[in-house]
A and B are shown apart, each in its own frame.
Chain A
Amino acid sequence: MQEISFINQVSRLALAFLNNLAFLPIVLAIGIVIGILLAIVRFHKVPVLSQLATIFVEVIRGSPFLMIVFVIYFGLPYLGIKFDSIQTAIIVLSITSTAYLSEVFRSGLLAVDKGQYEASDALGLNFYKKYTLVILPQVMKITMPSIVGQIVMTIKDTSIVSLVGVVEIVRTSRQIMQLTHRPLEAFGIVACFFILVCYPLISFSKRLEKRNER
């Protein structure tokens, strides 16, 4: 049994937690951009594309996160497509957040008053301007609570990619546990780090929701 001081454990886990959070910007950017595109495609019922988008969203929402990780990391190499663990993490996190966010944005598009669409058409705004200037800002405001909720989900899901070898907080905590044999301490600290970030976000999301109701 090796002695690792409490402070040492916390600082090692804090550094590892930065790796978890580092996934967020790119995953969110992909999720929001493609999510909006898929939502618009489904909203306008573009033939073929909208069916494909629906199948994609439903298949991803129907399968467990871990299963998608396994398919990409262990399944695809047999077909000659190889990703390392970090690429796998980015791909899987992006795919899932895209699917969930596109559903969020679709409900947002449906929630915007019909008059807004008609008014922008009446003003002669083209498709691009109609969405970027009129519709999407409103959609963003309506869906903000759910977007924050999705951020929390993504942060929590980063723990699962530890299973394919991404060096992040849960993997580091397992290594520490194997040295110290004090699981409650190691995993307790990990839980605290997640709570430190996620709890304020959840409260923020609830507050936004209340503001939208008013």
Chain B
Amino acid sequence: MLDFRLIGQYLPDFLSALWMTVQISLLSGIISLILGTVLGILSLLEYKVINVPIKLFNGFIRSSPLLVQLYLVHYGLPALGILLVAFQSAIIAFSLNTGSYISEIVRGGLNSIDKGQYEASKALGLSWNKTMLKVILPQVFKRILPPLISQFSYLIKDTSLAAVLAIPEITYMARSISSTTYKPIESYGVPMIMYFIIYIIFSVASKIILNAQKRTVKENSGNLMGKKRAV
């Protein structure tokens, strides 16, 4: 039987662990979004000096395990004289990792924007900054919202690796509570449910947005066809 008294007793610990996971995910999410957008735009400029390092960085991040990247940041940077608290190492490693994936998503989004949009902004006399901020990026983000959301849901799952650095987030808490209470079902069940709820929220959100986008595309094409017929 489930021991609800035990769950009640440890609920504050579970909730504080959840809050830690949320903090890590939010912080790295925001940083990686900025990093990914900047890298995505830079890689579109087609300067070799910028493109080659970005390609190397992306290749490195994609083909090595996150755990190794985390170790490289946490143990490697102090060797270079940059001292870090575990929390900072985790944020840096997760931001770099997710930032690289987001940069590819942003690049794909930028490529999918019609060339006419750039030409129209130029014809309107908009500066490059304004073209990007007011015309291109809003369209890009609207389009890439579903893959961005699933990337964030991967990020939340990946933050479980912060347990390796003894950061008291959900996975670490599950392990430590199970080793003090000897009740595996309660101490692993509650965190699993927490992760699962987060996962469901994200995947449902992604699906709703995807469907809404499909609908607007259909409506738009329907309108076009209607107009054509009227002509």
Chain A residues with a Cβ under 8 A of chain B = 58-59, 61-67, 70-71, 74-76, 78-79, 152, 156-160, 162-163, 170, 173-174, 177, 182-184, 187-188, 190-191, 194-195, 197-199, 201-202
Main secondary structure of the interface of A (DSSP, over half): helix
Report how far A162 CA is from B78 CA in the complex, Å: 23
How many chain B residues touch A (CB < 8 A): the figure is 43
| Interface CB pairs A-B, < 8 A, 23 | A59-B192, A62-B199, A62-B200, A64-B158, A66-B171, A67-B171, A67-B174, A67-B192, A70-B174, A71-B184, A74-B179, A75-B185, A76-B184, A78-B184, A156-B64, A160-B161, A188-B72, A190-B68, A194-B68, A195-B60, A195-B63, A198-B63, A199-B62
Q: Are A156 and B191 touching (Cβ within 8 A)?
A: no
Q: Are A79 and B191 touching (Cβ within 8 A)?
A: no
Q: Are B195 and A170 touching (Cβ within 8 A)?
A: no
**Which chain A positions have C-beta within 8 A of B160?**
64-67
B80 within 8 A of A: yes
Chain A minimum-CB-distance residue to B59 = A199
B182 within 8 A of A: yes
Chain B residues with a Cβ under 8 A of chain A = 59-60, 62-69, 71-72, 75-76, 78-80, 157-161, 163-164, 170-171, 174-175, 178-179, 182-185, 187-188, 191-192, 195-196, 198-200
**Which chain A positions have C-beta within 8 A of B60?**
191, 195
Chain B minimum-CB-distance residue to A78 = B184
Q: A66-B160, A74-B175 are in contact. Are A194 and B64 (CB under 8 A)?
A: yes
With beta carbons under 8 angstroms apart, the residue of A58, A184, A190, A202 that contacts B80 is: A184
What is the minimal beta-carbon distance from A106 to any residue of chain B, in angstroms?
15
Report how far A76 CA is from B196 CA in the complex, Å: 20
Chain B minimum-CB-distance residue to A182 = B79
Q: Are A59 and B196 touching (Cβ within 8 A)?
A: yes
**Which chain A positions have C-beta within 8 A of B171?**
64, 66-67, 70
Q: Are A78 and B182 touching (Cβ within 8 A)?
A: yes
Chain B minimum-CB-distance residue to A152 = B63
**Which chain A positions have C-beta within 8 A of B179?**
74
Q: Are A187 and B199 touching (Cβ within 8 A)?
A: no
**Which chain A positions have C-beta within 8 A of B62?**
198-199, 202
Q: A66-B163, A75-B188 are in contact. Are A194 and B65 (CB under 8 A)?
A: yes
Q: A183-B76, A187-B75 are in contact. Are A63 and B65 (CB under 8 A)?
A: no
**Which chain A positions have C-beta within 8 A of B175?**
70, 74
Q: Are B68 and A170 touching (Cβ within 8 A)?
A: yes
Q: A64-B158, A184-B80, A195-B59 are in contact. Are A159 and B188 (CB under 8 A)?
A: no
What is the minimal beta-carbon distance from B158 to any residue of chain A, in angstroms?
7
Report how far A66 CA is from B198 CA in the complex, Å: 16
**Which chain B positions have C-beta within 8 A of A65?**
157, 160
